[in-house]
Amino acid sequence: MQFGIMSVSDITRDPVSGHTPSEAERIENIVKIAVHAEEVGLDVFAIGEHHNPPFFSSSPTTLLAHIAALTTTLTVTTSTTLITTNDPVRLAEEYAMLQHLAKGRMDLMLGRGNTAPVYPWFGQDIRQGLPLALENYNLLHRLWREDVVDWEGQFRTPLQGFTSTPRPLDDVPPFVWHGSIRTPEIAEQAAFYGNGYFANNIFWPKEHYKRLITFYRQRFEHYGHGTRKQAVVGLGGQAFIAKNSQEAHDQFRPYFDEAPVYGNGPRMEDFEEMTPLSVGSPQEVIDKTLTFRDAFGDYQRQLFLVDHAGLPVDMVLRQLDLLGEHVVPVLREELEARRDPEAPANPPSHADLVKAKYGDQAPRQPRPNANRGDNVTGGSPYQDSEAAAAEYPTL
Amino acid sequence: MTDFRLVVVSAGVSDPSSTRLLADRATQRVTALAKERGHAVTVTTVDLRELLPELPAALSSQLLGPRFTRAVDALGAADAIVAAAPVYKAGASGLFTSFFQVLDNDLLIGKPVILAATAGTARHALVVDEEMRALFAYLRALPVPTSLFASTEDWTDTGFGTRIDRAARELVLLMESGFARAVRDDAWGAYQHTYGSAGGTELEIDLDSDLMRLATGGTLRPSTDDDPFDPRKG
């Protein structure tokens, strides 16, 4: 079971001190937070993607490559990568590059993005968001698995004889999660490809997320990737920890009350009761997190949101200390003890995927053919790839 | 002989409230008429005032508290509805409108509704037909032809009693017709739905749709078979 943190990259005024961090400050701090996540023994750091203030994370692969360079065991990932407004060709290239630089310590999670005005900035239309997401992933999937791709779809310029470079590390595509909380088509796509499914598990009662997770598990089995229990499920959640319940509530309340999205809405106590939010002592956070497994079955990755709503960086680092010292070790032990042996303990790592593809053989290392000077890859761009002739249109 | 479930939604905020009073008069007539025709009616009343503490959460994050959830469950199971609002500033009250805006779009499909409003002056008389009726049309509910509107002078007008009777009879006839149930049984798929709506009961997933084919590696691109200029056809 992997534990980590996910950030939406909001730059929010600290309601207690009145201080709004600069972009520079917040970016510097997120690196500190990510590095500290590894120091306290967490496994995963995830960053969101946004293209509007007050968020900073427009270029997740740049940030994650930097963090990967500063860490040794941490898996870097996204929460989420926009599969709608990004060109799948650029995603294939950027994330393959990140995969090389991070030596495989990465994966990514795809999401649609729900900010309507962002779509036209990238030449897209939110009303087409779902078909766009589905079609873009179909292409991304092929770009990482086929050296030469001919492709035609509804939304993007057709590709003829296109090769996405670099090829994935060891010619093994990064593991992909599909994030969704209300769209059966996304769960179906995750199941069809045998990818992971992630529910943010933040705003609603957990029963709400249960339906699609159950559907995803059924369909994962239907498509022959394994049993329901072997499907790869990740969950979000948010926690605020202090040495006792009272202190946690006192410290977190001003941030909760003014938090973007749900601030000035529900009372914190109601939100705790109705949603997966836990505010309290390490034991309370442990108890609440354990209920997730009861609801959703054995799952492989738990990400906590800890750095939002203007929480100052020192407080976030302290949260990580508490998570790493008092919460996660207990959760690891408890969840491992309860895990059905049929369910995987972790989502697949790069090493797992290499082993699955090659067994004990050495992984493929694609070496390009000599540059022919025409700037077109043609049918056989790599020395060992088969000369699949590209279909060029003829008149 | 059928046992009908009637849900009364009242947005009156004082106690006693004239809005609640109007809703109750309509309810009594519905119950009496249904009984005359051999039906039993179980009445559940949702006083929106009691949902006020849960309204901010519902409006800001679609998070429904326990009272909201009970109200949604009752409406989901209802055979008919009486919905009554006070008119404030030339519109149905914010509480009334907010409540129905929070509900999911599929909850009230085909359900017969008596729309009722109270106001301090007859100048607001068209609020029921021009505003409330539109809201229920959006929700695809079925408001009865006779709307109820009571300003101060109506309470002593015998004609008002007749209108209440008329609306109640319309509601009972629509309940008897089984229209809402028939829509649900026979034509539900013809309405647009969102997953998890209709109070969490809309969980059907159509695996045989264009989007599902796209999700599983298919394409949305129309076939190019009939394009005489398609260069790929050689």
ipTM > 0.95, yes or no: no
Q: Is residue A375 part of a domain?
A: no
Distance in angstroms (rounded) separating the CA atoms of residues B5 and B43 = 6
Domain count, chain A: 1
Q: Is residue A47 part of a domain?
A: yes
Residues A232-280 pLDDT 10s: 999 999 999 999 999 999 999 999 999 887 778 888 998 898 888 999 9
Contact: B203, A275; criterion CB under 8 Å: no
Residue A259 has which token pair?
A: 């938090």
Strand segments, DSSP code E, in A86-218 are: 108-111, 149-151, 159-162, 176-179, 196-199
Residues of A in contact with B211 (CB under 8 A): 130-131, 134, 185
Q: Which residues of B touch A (CB under 8 A)?
A: 54, 56-57, 59-63, 65, 194-196, 203, 205, 207, 211-212, 214-221, 231-232, 234
Question: CA nearest B217 in A: which residue?
Answer: A138
Q: Is residue A391 part of a domain?
A: no
Residues of A in contact with B194 (CB under 8 A): 182
Q: Is residue A151 part of a domain?
A: yes
Q: Is residue A371 part of a domain?
A: no
Structure confidence at residue A136 as a pLDDT band (50, 70, 90): very high
Q: What is the dihedral of CA A249, A252, A253, A258, to 10 degrees?
A: -160
Q: Quick one: which H or E segment has residue A234?
A: strand A233-235
A271 touches chain B (CB under 8 A): yes
Could you tell me the CATH number of the domain that includes residue A199?
3.20.20.30
Contact: A393, B232; criterion CB under 8 Å: yes
Residues A179-215 pLDDT 10s: 998 899 999 999 999 999 999 888 778 878 899 999 9
Contact: B196, A182; criterion CB under 8 Å: yes
Question: CA nearest B224 in A: which residue?
Answer: A152
A131: nearest CB among B61, B196, B211:
B211
Q: Residues with Cβ < 8 Å from A314, sequence gap 6 or more? A: none
Nearest to A129 by CA among A92, A90, A83, A91: A83
Distance in angstroms (rounded) separating the CA atoms of residues B45 and B67 = 12
Distance in angstroms (rounded) separating the CA atoms of residues B56 and A65 = 41
What's the confidence (pLDDT) of residue B17?
Answer: 93
B63: nearest CB among A141, A186, A204:
A204
Q: Quick one: which H or E segment has residue B8?
A: strand B3-10
What's the confidence (pLDDT) of residue B22?
Answer: 97
Distance in angstroms (rounded) separating the CA atoms of residues A37 and A15 = 25
Contact: A266, B234; criterion CB under 8 Å: no
Structure confidence at residue B199 as a pLDDT band (50, 70, 90): confident
Picking from A135, A159, A185, A267 by the largest number of B CB atoms within 10 A of its own CB, the best residue to mutate is A185
How many angstroms away from the CA of A104 is the closest CA of chain B?
26
Q: Is residue A385 part of a domain?
A: no
Task: Note down the domain range covering A143.
Answer: 2-358
A138: nearest CB among B56, B203, B217:
B217
Largest Cα–Cα separation, chain B: 84
Picking from B52, B68, B211 by the largest number of A CB atoms within 10 A of its own CB, the best residue to mutate is B211
Q: Is residue A368 part of a domain?
A: no
Residue B198 predicted with pLDDT over 70: yes
Residue B114 predicted with pLDDT over 60: yes
Rounded to the nearest 10 degrees, what angle do helices A206-222 and A282-296 cross at?
A: 40
Contact: B65, A274; criterion CB under 8 Å: yes
Q: Is residue A297 part of a domain?
A: yes
Structure confidence at residue A375 as a pLDDT band (50, 70, 90): low
B211: nearest CB among A134, A212, A261:
A134
Contact: B205, A184; criterion CB under 8 Å: yes
Domains of chain B: 3-190 (3.40.50.360), 205-233 (no CATH)
Q: In this structure, which amino acid lies at residue A288?
A: K
Distance in angstroms (rounded) separating the CA atoms of residues A271 and A274 = 5
